[in-house]
A and B are shown apart, each in its own frame.
Chain A
Amino acid sequence: MSTSYLPAGLPIPVPEVDGLSTQYWEGLKKNEVWVQRCKDCRTWQWGPEWMCHACNSFDTGWEKIEAHGRIYSWERPWHPVHPALKGHGPYLIVLVEFPQYGNIRMIGNLLGDPHQTVEIGGKVSPVFEHHEDATPPFTLLQWTIET
């Protein structure tokens, strides 16, 4: 796909057989970001788990968030770790934190020049990268520097 940040051929994300992360992956296809929030104690939780780590409730609900965050850490891989990345690179991976949602964090690529200077603490906005032609189709949550 010409619009994707990384070349095609990397593993395609799918929900587990038990469906734990289905809400997240289905939400991305609709340009929505859903994460877990305990219905009992209101603790935010990411990645998904069957139990709330704060109060041990099994009633872990989902909430849609406005996924504007800040860069918590980053890295620039050069060495290809997968056949699909041979001859590609470098590229950027960021760990994005959401202070407004209990400091949960998400991983993604930072779009734009892979050689750019990356500032920890910098604000980023979500970009939904749709892979409709993949089998099965999926959407990745990517990041761009907020202007």
Chain B
Amino acid sequence: MATDSNRSLRGKVAIVGVGETPYYKHGMSPHSEFKLALMAIVAACRDAGLDPHDIDGIASYSNDRNDPSRLSAALGMKELRFANMQWGGGGGGGAAAVGNAAAAIAGGLSDVVVVFRALAQGQFARFGVGAATPTTAGDAAFQSPYGLMSPAQKFAMKTMRFMHDHGVGQEALRAIAMASYAHAQKNPRAVMYGRPLDEAAYDASRWIVEPFHLFDCCQENDGAAALIIVSADRAKDFAHKPSYLLGAQGGSDYRAGAPAHNVPNYGSSTFASVVPHLYRMAGIKPSEVDVLQNYENFTGGVLMSLVEHGFCAPDECNEFSTLENFMAPTGRLPMNTSGGNLAECYMHGLELQIEAVRQLRGDSTAQVPKVDISMVIAGPMVTPVSSMILGSEATL
């Protein structure tokens, strides 16, 4: 099986530095988006004990606006060997960007890659508002004249079908929102720190689009986050315990991009075809995951991601999706332990990857005891999506 093991990223690279800016409510950043990107990258370098001049690769996703050549010049990087953008919107590319960086390092294209994401929505248009154009063509023409414009609306209809098919109650969505808010109360960095959520407040919150209440929908924020990735044989030269990449996979199901909501597998987070590749590369089973960061654009996507990643059967959602099961340190599957997109910050999921690293290092504000396998699911329901699994040295 030499060929197969050669064609794997398992254990080949590690995340050795993580950095982030303060997280702001959307439009509240005192810094420009480009400066935020630089701040996060420099913070990640400082965390690793790395000179920013020694970065030689830059990877991002979601059509990040901050050009790698300008970043490279601003940072004074000695050379730029890898400049990579994972296609696709939302946070779906977050784990794939790490996979791309890992592939570049494993293949000898680059030695030190920074994966980053920066967002200043005050400076640019917001996500949750339809474009104010007089006419519309293409796929949008089949949707926006009917008042179907926002990501919440696009994904509520998938969630509604999934809930119908599997008898899922609103309480299963509520538990996901409450877990993020409960963990955020322990995390001073979280935008929703000091703003707890209880069942009554969730139930009383306004509908954005049924079946999503206000608290089922992610925040929109300003800030930036960055990760430093190097080859595994250098990983111990840096300041912290390395987080080794065991597996990463991006992609999407058969005809996921079919126009006008014609994807055959509709009530889905788009992960059905992605997940078998992920677990095969990582060589683990879902039951071995110690802690999970599961991207919440909307709670319905989190639930379908849990199912498609094998954590529960579709007809078990009501029993599995409970606050108790998701809470660190003792829950059956501690999830979104920093507060996630809902309550820490919506940094397109890169803050979830930083939290996955913190859990492996043992310095989360909601630490799970003895973490060896730490998993991240990136933006569900878009196409392409991606996931990744990190492990401690003991898992290699």
Contact = CB atoms under 8 A, between A and B. Distances in A.
Interface of A: 6, 10-17, 21, 25, 46-49, 53, 72-79, 81-83, 85, 90-91, 93, 95, 103-109, 120, 136, 138, 140
6 contacts: A13-B142, A15-B141, A77-B210, A81-B149, A90-B210, A93-B146
Contact of B148 (A79, A83, A90, A107): A107
B3 interface: no
Contacts of A11: 130-131, 133-136, 140-141, 144-145
Nearest to A142: B146
B262 interface: yes
Enumerate the 8 nearest inter-chain pairs by beta-carbon distance, A residue then B residue, closest first. Answer: A47-B259, A13-B141, A11-B136, A73-B161, A76-B210, A77-B209, A78-B207, A47-B260
A95 B145 contact: no
Given A16-B138, A91-B147, A47 B258 contact: yes
B130 A81 contact: yes
A29 B242 CA distance: 63
Choose among A46, A85, A140 the residue with the greatest number of B CB atoms under 10 Å from its CB. A46
B258 A13 contact: no
A81 B150 contact: yes
Contact of A13 (B136, B152, B161): B136
Interface residues of B, number: 46
A95 to B, nearest CB: 5
A81 B147 contact: yes
Contacts of B267: 73
Contact of B266 (A15, A72, A93): A72
B261 interface: yes
Interface string B101-144: 00000000000000000000000000011111111111111111
B157 A95 contact: yes
B239 interface: no
B256 to A, nearest CB: 12
Contacts of A47: 139, 142, 258-260, 262
B309 interface: no
A69 B126 CA distance: 35
A78 B209 contact: yes
A1 B146 CA distance: 15
Contacts of B158: 73
Interface string B243-270: 0000000000001001111101011000
